[in-house]
Amino acid sequence: MQDGYMAITGDDFLFFAERAVGGMSTILGELGDDLANTRPALPGANTPFALLTHCLGVMEYWGGHLVAGRPVQRDRRAEFHASGPVAPLRARAERALETLRADVRDSRPGAPLHDEPDPEVLGPDRELTRDSALQHLYEELAQHHGQMEIMRDCLLAARRPADPVDAPMAWLRAKQGVKWHRPGPALLPAWVADMDFPLAPVIAEAIGAALGRGDLGYPDWDGHPLAGAFADRMRRRHGWQPDPAHVRGITDLIQGLQLTLTLLTEPGDGVVAFTPNYPPFLRTLETMRRPLVAAPLEPARGWTWDHDLLEQRVRTGNARVLLLVNPHNPTGKVFTADELRRVADLAERHDLIVISDEIHADLVHAPHRHLPFAALDAGTAARTVTVTSASKAFNIAGLRTALAHVGPAVLRAAWDAQPPDLYGAVNVLGVEATRAAWAHGDTWLAAVTAHLTRQRDHLARRIAAMPGVGLLTPEAGYLAWLDCRAAGLGEEAADWFRRNAGVELSAGSEFGSGAVGSVAESWARLNFATTREVLDLILDRMEDALTRAEKTGFRPPEAHLSASG
């Protein structure tokens, strides 16, 4: 130091500034997209992504505006709520460093600032030169680099296991949702399509952040809040570019079917559906008096259908709408491009509106691939209502948030002509959860899907050893459609397994596979989205019950009643 001055060159400053920014960028790379957008459990903490975004704003304001004299448009508050993928932000940080190098080397030592610092940016309470402004800039970068190192350590320490499916039995039994609560403690549930896994951390964080902000009032949304997120996800995952302006909000997919039928059809108009099918859809058709035009999926054909028979039924069934569930529930079939094209051709020939339920699309097992029906061509897109939600893949059905991409212009016009909020409004927390899931949840989703594939393969091996039960291995999802006809159970399979094995399955007759209690069509749906421990307990009980029945000589309930009566 000489005469009160300490000689710090521009290169000295840049070395340490680059080390701070480069260190933060490296931390984001270590954390990945999910954790970089997660707030650690620290008072007042931001996410690492938001913190680096803020630092880039600091660099542009103090280095670019006050030192270099460039005009800037900065929203400091928004920096702390920024989120997104890591790679583009790291590239932006590198560009910001290049700009800072040029600004520092062009700066005149001791020169005054180009503007007075805005009090809102919370700078030092003293008169500053360009040199001291750069010192403050480094102070900010060094401080936030240290904060981010602490955030990284906390996030990594709290990170869930790579396999996010650890669900202790006591935790499952304590749940108040319908899957575990309704059957009671004597039964092992494998029925309703909920998964047993803990909530994805990115979703828990998003909901927690909204609650922390107290953001449960009227939202400030321009258009549907998930339209852009949906379009981006379809483009990234499936190569389809839907029009965000065609998105309409619904609470669940059943409502999407009901709205379409209400606005475009009349009682007596037929609805084509591949059977077996999702029970609430079938009940909707019955309640609304829209006759089912059934297209039975045949297991002997690998869950395909008789095209000639369907063509005949469409011609004679006064069909106006075709309901496609792809991937299919309950069989787990993923429709091929050729099959979808045949459905599209049928719809075009008979001028059918197509409602395409694609809620299981994120849970396809390799090597199968999901193709959105509306992605086939422009003509198909114009007659298709795609209904979907993050609720199935991310296990958030209770948030009641879904959407419809409405291709038919006549339906959009009829929909928009309805009184505001007649069919409900979008759920604030559901939007936060869906945005987080679709933008940052793919790492969690990949781990869950890998677990589900292992569960599926394990289930197939176990079912192959069970007397009288068959299974065509599902190509998507976590639902197995069990063929129990050869077991000779003499009653609805789900009822038999409930009484004899203490296992709760979904009754096959509810899916349109036969009348209630039908002996000839004894199918049952099993949900394998649980831990390996629970799945094996379920399968052990089922196998033991079938083995006992084989050894003792099975008699249906009617025979027992006759013998005792």
Mean pLDDT of the chain: 91
Q: What is the pLDDT of residue 256?
A: 97
Q: What is the pLDDT of residue 517?
A: 42
pLDDT bucket at 196, cuts 50 / 70 / 90? very high
Q: What is the pLDDT of residues 54-92, one digit of tens each?
A: 999 999 998 989 899 999 888 888 999 999 999 999 999
| Cα separation, 153 vs 31, whole angstroms | 10
Q: What is the pLDDT of residues 404-427, one digit of tens each?
A: 999 999 999 999 999 988 988 889
Q: 281 is written with which tokens?
A: 């859809």
Q: Which domains does the chain have, with CATH numbers?
A: 10-158 (1.20.120.450), 224-431 (3.40.640.10)
pLDDT bucket at 155, cuts 50 / 70 / 90? confident
Q: What is the pLDDT of residue 563?
A: 29
pLDDT at 554 over 60: no
Q: What is the pLDDT of residues 286-322, one digit of tens each?
A: 999 999 999 999 998 899 999 999 999 999 999 999 9
| Cα separation, 154 vs 149, whole angstroms | 9
Q: What is the pLDDT of residues 3-51, one digit of tens each?
A: 555 567 888 889 999 999 999 999 999 888 888 999 998 888 899 999 9
Looking at residue 114, its amino acid is: H
Q: Contact 313/294 with Cβ under 8 angstroms?
A: yes
pLDDT, average across residues 442-455 = 95
Q: What is the pLDDT of residue 8?
A: 76
Q: Contact 521/485 with Cβ under 8 angstroms?
A: yes
pLDDT at 165 over 90: no
pLDDT at 555 over 70: no
pLDDT, average across residues 334-344 = 98
Q: What is the pLDDT of residue 163?
A: 56
Start-end of H helices in 167-200: 169-173, 178-181
For 71, list phi and psi in degrees, rounded to 5. -70, 140
Instruction: Name which residue leads in pLDDT, 117 or 179.
Output: 179
Looking at residue 337, its amino acid is: A
pLDDT, average across residues 241-250 = 97
pLDDT, average across residues 511-527 = 69
Q: What is the pLDDT of residues 379-401, one digit of tens each?
A: 999 999 999 999 999 999 999 99
Which of 73-82, 323-332, 336-345, 538-547 is the least confident region? 73-82
pLDDT at 236 over 60: yes
Q: How far apart are the first and last CA of the chain?
A: 109
Q: What is the pLDDT of residue 6?
A: 59
Q: What is the pLDDT of residue 7?
A: 64
| Measured CA angle at 84 (ends 80, 90), to 5 deg | 90
Q: What is the pLDDT of residue 513?
A: 58
| Cα separation, 250 vs 120, whole angstroms | 41
- Going by their DSSP bridges, the two strands 503-504 and 292-296 should be labelled as unpaired
Share of the chain above pLDDT 70, in %: 94
| Cα separation, 18 vs 431, whole angstroms | 38
Most confident of 141-155, 362-376, 513-527: 362-376
Which of 37-46, 86-95, 236-245, 365-374 is the least confident region? 37-46
The CB-based long-range contact list for 412-415 (8 Å cut-off, 24+ gap) reads 412/246, 412/248, 414/263, 414/264, 415/248, 415/259, 415/263
Which of 47-51, 139-143, 212-216, 446-450 is the least confident region? 212-216
Instruction: Name which residue leads in pLDDT, 127 or 561.
Output: 127
Which DSSP letter does residue 524 get? E
Start-end of H helices in 62-200: 76-79, 86-106, 130-158, 169-173, 178-181
pLDDT at 243 over 90: yes
pLDDT bucket at 565, cuts 50 / 70 / 90? very low
Q: What is the pTM of this model?
A: 0.71
Q: Contact 25/93 with Cβ under 8 angstroms?
A: yes
| Cα separation, 457 vs 474, whole angstroms | 9
Q: 116 is written with which tokens?
A: 């007075």
pLDDT at 480 over 80: yes
Could you tell me which residues are beta bridge partners of residue 386? 356, 405
CA distances from 272 to 240, 253, 318, 429 (A): 25, 17, 10, 35
